[in-house]
Amino acid sequence: MRRFYSIAAFALAVLLLAAGCSTAKPAESSPPTDELVVAIGAEPETGFDPTKGWGRYGSPLFQSTLLKRDDQLNIVNDLATSYEVSEDGKTWTVKLRNDVAFSDGEPLTSEDVKFTFDTAAGNGAAIDLKNLASVEAGQDQVVFRLKKPQSTFVYYLITTGIVPKHAYSSTYAENPIGSGPFTFVQWDRGQQLIVEANAKYYGAKPSIHKLTFLFLNEDAAFAAAKAGSVDVAYIPSAFSHQEVAGMRLEAVKSVDNRGIAFPYVKAGGKTDKGYEIGNDVTADRAIRVAVNTVIDRQQLVKGILEGYGSPAFTANDGLPWWNENTVIKDNDAEAARQILADGGWVDSDKDGIVEKGTHKAEFTLLYPSGDVTRQSLALAAADMVKKAGIQINVEGKSWDEIEKQMHANAVLLGWGSHDPLEMFNLYSSAFGGVDYYNTGFYSNSSVDKQFEQALDARTEEEALSFWKKAQWDGQTGLSVQGDAPWAWLVNIDHLYLVKDGLDIGKQRIQPHGHGWPVTDNIESWSWIQ
């Protein structure tokens, strides 16, 4: 979740800039050819250590990864020159470049890769490497041995930045050393991060020599853009139609989605912590499908996102593992009413809300109270479903309160990743009630089997068909065509104000807004005037 800082903090930052601190840039001057000041997201609370999760939603900046994705999201080499998977799927052998040095001049070797993954596995929660049995460092190669086949292991090779064994300590997150395109200079907590281009970087050298990140909330970032104090600013859709002199708006497509997670099972259960599980209304498939059918997703995009977004039907629309057959015709109140009628829901007392036996078609939808966009989506969805005879009561809560109530009430959540393992986490019965993943305790043995086959595949290409069949195989699946445990609403475009003359390259479809996904192609950014 994005951290929100006070306007007073922003005013202080502006005063520092005006006073001539290291990030100062006169608003009226021509842009430098090798320096940028940006406000593109929240400060990483735990610092810049990849073994604790840094870099999983955007370039790790300071560190390199074994593999990476290109602009078409194809998997390509980075530190690796090649990799192969054994016939049984349990052994992954990665060949390494031998010309890479860390920013302190020490060579990057297979021992550093082994150390990184061993450390990440030991850290536990941030990176799930429970299936990793061992890592062996050889001559310009690393051998990963898994307890069982796992096609998605490739995504750990894509997202885990390599740290130096010789320079790693308990304070590494605050002063990182790596082999990535930029080197760490200074981190002023709550204010800014300063980085510089890595002269020892083995890849395409960045044309931007110095990069300063200001940690401002969206309102303050917009104010900084208007003041001419930043070159790039991440802004909410509410500001999208306000012009800023000398800057242009760039809208980047994303799978940063928002949707309604339904309790899938009937009421009566409790978690180990004593929290209630289940809801007798949303446990009825007719209710869930009717909600999906009556909601006008395009209107949500137009009215709430100011047109900067797209209708969402899954957690992974447009990605290689997305099943296009999950798209349904929505904004159809008549069809929704028929679905309910066929499911035994009728408005016997003529109060506008259908009922079935002793249950009215009424349930609570929770959203995090500090999130205006989610609040607006929840209220709009509640208004739309009335046309089908369903009553949704919208309530804003703190995350602590939501955690206690999310297994018995619908919740407006947000996800979106370049890793199909997120879909597994959201829908696998093994993740029922685990963190914020499968909050509704969804379970389908056919879906679990497709997941198992996808994980057991030897390559990403082989796994794709199983990921798609898990969503809908013609008879069942996790999408609205099947069990409909979610009503996905929208994918949010990520909006950036960019200084005229600055080229931020071809942006890839971006994941959920944690981290700084816009920096994935940071090496290709340049001033063109």
> What number is the average pLDDT over the span 330-340?
98
- Shortest CA distance to 394 belongs to which of 403, 385, 300? 385
- Look at residue 252 in the predicted model and tell me its pLDDT: 94
How sure is the predictor about 123, in pLDDT bands with cuts at 50, 70 and 90? confident
Sequence-separated (6 or more) residues with CB below 8 Å from residue 104 = 164, 167, 177
Report pLDDT digits (tens) over 403-455. 999 999 999 999 998 889 999 999 999 999 999 999 999 999 999 999 999 99
Angle at 37 between CA 36 and CA 42, to 5 degrees: 130
Rounded CA separation 69/155 (Å): 10
Residue 4 in this model has a pLDDT that exceeds 60: no
126 three-state secondary structure: coil
Q: Domain 257-492: give its CATH superfamily.
A: Dipeptide-binding Protein; Domain 3 (3.10.105.10)
Residue 105 in this model has a pLDDT that exceeds 60: yes
Rounded CA separation 337/287 (Å): 10
- Shortest CA distance to 367 belongs to which of 270, 259, 288, 274? 259
* CB environment 377-401: b (16+ within 10 A), e (fewer): bbebbeebbebbbbbbebebbeeee
- Shortest CA distance to 163 belongs to which of 106, 213, 210? 106
Name the β-bridge partners of 39.
233
C-beta atoms surrounding 33 within 10 Å: 13
Tokens 């981290």 sit on residue: 515
Rounded CA separation 220/21 (Å): 19
- Look at residue 120 in the predicted model and tell me its pLDDT: 95
C-beta atoms surrounding 479 within 10 Å: 25
Sequence-separated (6 or more) residues with CB below 8 Å from residue 95 = 80, 81, 82, 83, 140, 141
Tell me the CA end-to-end span of the chain in Å, nearest whole number: 36
Give the E-state strand segments of 302-376 in sequence order: 309-311, 355-356, 359-360, 362-368
Rounded CA separation 296/218 (Å): 27
372 three-state secondary structure: helix
**pTM listed for this prediction:** 0.87
Burial class from Cβ neighbours inside 10 Å (0-12, 13-18, 19+) for residue 51 reads buried
- Look at residue 140 in the predicted model and tell me its pLDDT: 96
- Look at residue 189 in the predicted model and tell me its pLDDT: 94
Rounded CA separation 495/508 (Å): 13
Rounded CA separation 525/205 (Å): 10
pLDDT > 70 in the chain, percent: 93
What sign has the CA pseudo-torsion 369, 374, 379, 382? negative
What CATH code would you report for 48-179?
3.40.190.10
Tokens 């996905």 sit on residue: 488
CB–CB of 288/308 below 8 Å?
no
Domain 1-43+189-254+493-529 has CATH 2.30.29.30: no
Could you tell me the two tokens for 424?
A: 């597994």
Alpha-carbon radius of gyration of the chain: 24
Sequence-separated (6 or more) residues with CB below 8 Å from residue 334 = none
Rounded CA separation 113/423 (Å): 28
Q: In what order do the strands lie in the sheet with 132-138?
A: 80-85, 91-96, 141-146, 132-138
CB–CB of 285/292 below 8 Å?
no
Tokens 């000041």 sit on residue: 37
Question: 7-16, 71-80, 127-136, 475-484: which range is least confident on average?
Answer: 7-16
Residues in the chain: 529
- Look at residue 529 in the predicted model and tell me its pLDDT: 64
CB–CB of 215/100 below 8 Å?
no
455 three-state secondary structure: helix
Map out the domains of the chain as residue ranges.
1-43+189-254+493-529, 48-179, 257-492
Matching fold, domains 1-43+189-254+493-529 and 48-179: yes
Q: Distance from CA of residue 418 to its chain's centroid? A: 8
Could you tell me the two tokens for 254?
A: 């994303």
Report pLDDT digits (tens) over 19-42. 333 333 444 445 556 899 999 988
Report pLDDT digits (tens) over 67-82. 998 888 889 999 999 9
- C-alpha dihedral over 37, 42, 47, 49, to 10 degrees? -90
How sure is the predictor about 514, in pLDDT bands with cuts at 50, 70 and 90? confident
- Amino acid in position 401: E
Report pLDDT digits (tens) over 212-267. 999 999 899 999 999 999 999 999 998 999 999 999 999 999 999 999 999 999 99
